[in-house]
Amino acid sequence: MRHVIAIDQGTTGSTVLVLDEQLAVRGRGYKEFRQIYPTPGWVEHDPADIWASVLAALEQALKGIEPSTIAAIGITNQRETSVLWDRKTGAPCHHAIVWQDRRTADRCAELRREGKEARVRELTGLTLDPYFAGTKVAWMLNNISSLAAPARAGHIAFGTIDTFLVWKLTAGAVHATDVTNASRTLLFDLRDLAWSDELLELIGVPRAILPEVVPSSGTIGATRGVPGLPDGIPICGIAGDQQSALFGQACFTPGDAKCTYGTGAFILMNTGDTPVASKSGLLTTVAWKLASGELRYALEGSAFIAGAAVQWLRDGLQFFSSAAEIESLAQSVPDAGGVIVVPAFAGLGAPHWRPDARGSITGLTRGTTRAHIARATLDGIALQNVDILRAMERDSGRALAALKVDGGAAANNLLMQFQADVLGVEISRPALVETTALGAAFLAGLGAGVWKDQAAVRAAWREERRFKPSGDRATIAAHIARWDAAVAKA
């Protein structure tokens, strides 16, 4: 029996799954790591903490697994989070700047005032927003003393977290990223599938620091000196977390869509082998490229805050002691009592792209309770997705037939039912909601020949529950109208 390791390096922790050829989970590990907030709007990670969390999760997941049976490793990662490190010593030059970080908002606004956004969108499929990696890298080069010159000389390496992990897993032998992560940097030409000199000059990033760009599936490197793993295990899959979840949900047909409820909520729709330019504030991104040459694009809409809003109620307001308790608290009232929570704690993402927006609670009365606010928070998570999916339907010219869901908050039945109600479409939840890791395993297993083709992936996908729309449509429309008014004020 061969096994595939999936490393899912997320925003708040690292998960490792070990899957067998029948896609049964044979090992599982998870380790959280600290979040660093130097100043309001800034979010950082210590790369040493990330690597330590991966090693700890690996150790847990590999208990009882014979190392000789491991056929391949797949990596999926928080995408735009950016790291610079010294090529010779491997030492990070600075904390990683996390995708949520807003410190480059002024620089993005400056580029927009200079009239650069249309060209950036044309080349990258992205908007000028501090969310993406390019301006984060430029900030580090401009604000860390004595870094610019060695970067231009090629002594410094840049990577998103997948690149950093490949470097660590191969003891510095491989400096590479895949097309999905590269497409999130503001530096990558979406059609040529190559780093763009025009964009590098515009953003201010030297080519010498960039990794090689490889397909999402196929041999990329091999392990060397990793505690608990033998040398020579091939790394055969890389994809950014949301593209990995799209693949793990078997969304192989154009029009297939999924939503991952993690720290944020991320919706992707497969648009086939041609990029679809958005007119509605969405992103165009690479979905995957296989070693066979198969290339798929996607439309994407991201809400920066989803599960993080539940964490805010737990940690900031101390409404409950564990995130799972929100469902019973919210169910204790029939509805939110007119309360609207806009969870714009890190600005508003697609389709609004307003980094200056802030979270708000409206509709409060003397009768409002913790339960109403909890329910309104779940409602807000779902209502953000209505904005995104309606824009996606306009851009793609396809009406959404159903939405596949995954991620931690997808286990919340109340949230999933409300999501179906406000969208008016069925919600499909898989048996294994950790489809981000599953996608990395699929990509690695395809690259290593563990599974022959995507038909094996499709055959392995199983639905656990389907949520059908319910409720009075006029009442739901009025709720959405109150949401729209609250968003306009956020």
Q: Which domains does the chain have, with CATH numbers?
A: 3-242 (3.30.420.40)
pLDDT at position 351 is 85
With cut-offs at 50, 70 and 90, classify the pLDDT of residue 77.
very high
Single pTM value for the model: 0.88
Residue 319 near residue 313, CB atoms below 8 Å: yes
pLDDT at position 380 is 95
Q: Write the pLDDT tens digit of every residue in 26-41.
A: 999 999 999 999 998 8
Weakest mean pLDDT among 16-20, 236-240, 460-464: 460-464
Weakest mean pLDDT among 149-153, 353-357, 417-421, 441-445: 353-357
pLDDT at position 490 is 78
434 to each of 76, 89, 225, 408, how far by Cα in Å? 12, 35, 28, 8
User: With pLDDT > 70 as the criterion, what percentage of the chain qualifies?
Assistant: 100
With cut-offs at 50, 70 and 90, classify the pLDDT of residue 431.
confident
Span 85-91, average pLDDT: 94
With cut-offs at 50, 70 and 90, classify the pLDDT of residue 200.
very high
- Work out the mean pLDDT of the chain and round it to a whole number: 93
User: Using H for helix, E for strand and C for coil, what is the string for 203-229?
Assistant: HCCCHHHCCEEECCEEEEEECCCCCCC
Distance CA 227, CA 75 (A): 17
Distance CA 112, CA 127 (A): 10
Q: b/e per residue, 252-265, with b = 16+ CB within 10 A?
A: bebebbbbbbbbbb
Q: Write the pLDDT tens digit of every residue in 275-312.
A: 999 888 899 999 999 988 999 999 999 888 898 899 99
Task: For residue 318, give the H/E element and its range.
Answer: none
Weakest mean pLDDT among 154-158, 242-246, 338-342, 389-393: 389-393
Residue 25 near residue 18, CB atoms below 8 Å: yes
pLDDT at position 486 is 93
pLDDT at position 471 is 85
Residue 379 has pLDDT above 80, yes or no: yes
Residue 305 near residue 340, CB atoms below 8 Å: no
pLDDT at position 467 is 97
Residue 148 has pLDDT above 90, yes or no: no
Burial class (CB in 10 A: 0-12, 13-18, 19+), 117: middle
Residue 3 has pLDDT above 80, yes or no: yes
